[in-house]
Homo-oligomer: A and B are copies of this chain.
């Protein structure tokens, strides 16, 4: 975890881990069959640290609960930006990943969805969170923690306003909104539209 935070996804090397432990690189292979297994364990460990804050007035309000879970997962992944790149390389079937999926199915069942609809909705929600953090992290690569939201928005705005309006007029016209893609507000907006569609159907 220290290597992941300090040096990013690529910094998590077998040799680096061994070095921190004061051990020879090959000693790591007593505990993991290969580097991919180490990365998989790391991903599930981060997922195990997702904590949904118990907000008031959320009892019985399944929609608020789903939103809180999605935001908590997003927050945790943005807090450990290195894992996001790792998630495209390992199947998400660790115990903590499964526990999060189960918790989501629980809340969706409370919302009155049958088992199939709940599972499909759970899929869409996971996809949405993962995609959102992937886009966020892609904008601010490199090791170290993600910079504050405001900085990332400002950097995006600067990069996008450099665009000539000619080839991409609609993009140029909506620069302010597009710069805010990395924002929790836009994350919630898309989530709300999906939940609207879920309850309307």
A-to-B contact residues, CB < 8 Å: 36, 84-85, 87-93, 95, 98-99, 101-102, 105-106, 109, 115-116, 118-124, 126-132, 134-135, 137-139, 141, 159-160, 163, 167-171, 173-174, 177-178, 181, 186, 189-190, 192-198, 200-201
Contact = CB atoms under 8 A, between A and B. Distances in A.
B181 A141 contact: no
- The winner among A87, A120, A129 for most chain B CB atoms within 10 A is A120
Copies in the complex: 2
Contact of A170 (B95, B105, B127, B190): B105
Given A89-B138, A89-B141, A101-B168, 4 more contacts: A85-B89, A87-B88, A105-B170, A196-B200
Contacts of A87: 88, 134, 138
A158 B167 CA distance: 49
Nearest to A85: B88
A156 to B, nearest CB: 9
Contacts of A126: 131, 135
Given A89-B85, A134-B130, A138-B91, A120 B186 contact: yes
A140 to B, nearest CB: 8
A176 to B, nearest CB: 8
18 contacts: A89-B138, A90-B138, A91-B139, A91-B159, A95-B167, A98-B167, A98-B168, A101-B178, A102-B168, A102-B170, A120-B190, A123-B178, A123-B181, A127-B128, A129-B131, A194-B197, A195-B197, A197-B197
A128 to B, nearest CB: 6
Contacts of A102: 167-171
A43 B92 CA distance: 24
